Amino acid sequence: MTGPEVIALGEVMLRFDPGEGRIRTARTFQVWEGGGEYNVVRGLRRCFGLRAAVVTALVDNAVGRLAEDLVLQGGVDTSLIRWVPGDGIGRSARNGLNFVERGFGIRGALGVSDRANTAVSQLRKGDVDWDSVFAAGPRWFHTGGIFAGLSDTTVDVAEEAMAAARRHGVMVSYDPNYRPSLWADRGGPERAREVDLRLARHADVVVGALGLAGPYPGALRVRADDAPDAFAEVADRLPTAQVLATTLRDVPSAGVNDWSSAAWAPATGFVAGPDLPGLHVLDRIGSGDAFAAGLIYGLLTPPEPNGGLLSDGEPVGGPLTGARLKRALAYGTAHGALAMTTPGDVSMASLTEVEALMAGGSAAVRR
């Protein structure tokens, strides 16, 4: 069997969703799987049709096997999951849970994580044979700041994996994806920034790149007019990056967002993505990951008949043009927008729907 084309390293949690209700008053929950890095390859598999795998760790009990079953339903290869023996009560390792309510109107979305001491947070350098993983011939590797923020050892694992991917000529993407709760007792935003810069320097493509602008994560709220200067600041910090990309969002209410994107590359300069004002939102969680999936797909499948993206630091099939980058932004923006129209972390969009929206499609009934 042919191996995966795209691989992610990250935590897969069970998401407990109270639907239109509140976590604190819920009597029933819908259960999904999700995780910042996993969501990207899940979208690349389910929407865009690329063979995908996830590297993670789960405790081998009924909860872990539920997470595995959900990953399998998403079409993602589970052969790289590291299974950790359970002790019956989660004393030594456990599986992560994430309770998320969607928000409505003036009430924003709320996430309550229950993820300390998870199996994946205990991964260490040497636990995964990365040379074997990348020798199988994947085209792309993705990880991010959520995985890196789980523990001090996961930072080292992420760096080990990214360095191995680069040695094998695999494209590498990184998403800072700052979560304050992961850094609250581990150095705060300053430490998170230090880790992000350390890891992002191994990446060819940085998604959510404007999270690296300003003195620390969350210090700046970058609007569309500020994006070119913010990209210039990040480019100075990451001089070897081939592509910096970001979503841009204004939030008039939980149910209506103004949604767009932008990117910068040394070969193109600043490139603006599509603008979708007044986008009606059912569930915004995971939309940034869906954007990353669409962006990666657009970069991996350029319109040139013999094109391919970048390999070993050089474009294949011609230079990375502004038109190619704009097309990748359009895939990401449309996929992220559609992901916000359905519940759960993961995308339920089809490639046909994404490309119809890119072409100016409407919400008219299709029969």
**What are the tens digits of pLDDT across the range 266-283?**
999 999 999 999 999 999
Tens digit of pLDDT for each residue in 193-220? Answer: 999 999 999 999 999 999 999 999 988 8
Tens digit of pLDDT for each residue in 288-321? Answer: 999 999 999 999 987 755 444 444 444 444 479 9
Tens digit of pLDDT for each residue in 15-63? Answer: 999 999 999 999 999 999 999 999 999 999 999 999 999 999 999 999 9
pLDDT band, residue 182 (cuts 50/70/90): very high
Contact 115, 96 (CB under 8 A): yes
Q: Is the confidence at residue 328, as pLDDT, over 50?
A: yes
pLDDT score for 223: 87
pLDDT score for 317: 40
pLDDT score for 311: 46
- Sign (positive/negative) of CA torsion 142, 147, 148, 153? negative
Q: Please, what is the average pLDDT of the chain? A: 92
Q: Is the confidence at residue 363, as pLDDT, over 60?
A: no
Task: Provide the 3-class DSSP secondary structure of residue 66.
Answer: helix
Helix (H) or strand (E) holding 332: helix 322-339
pLDDT band, residue 221 (cuts 50/70/90): confident
pTM: 0.93
pLDDT score for 361: 63
Stated length of the chain: 367
pLDDT score for 2: 84
Reading the block at residue 117, the tokens are 């001491």
The share of the chain scoring above pLDDT 70, in percent, equals 93
- List of long-range contacts for 107-116, beta carbons under 8 Å, 24+ apart: 107/254, 108/251, 108/254, 109/254, 109/283, 109/284, 109/285, 110/23, 111/285, 112/23, 113/13, 113/179, 113/181, 115/11, 115/13, 115/150
- Sign (positive/negative) of CA torsion 218, 220, 223, 224? negative
Highest mean pLDDT of the ranges 163-172, 217-226, 309-318: 163-172
Task: Provide the 3-class DSSP secondary structure of residue 140.
Answer: strand
pLDDT score for 314: 44
pLDDT score for 333: 97
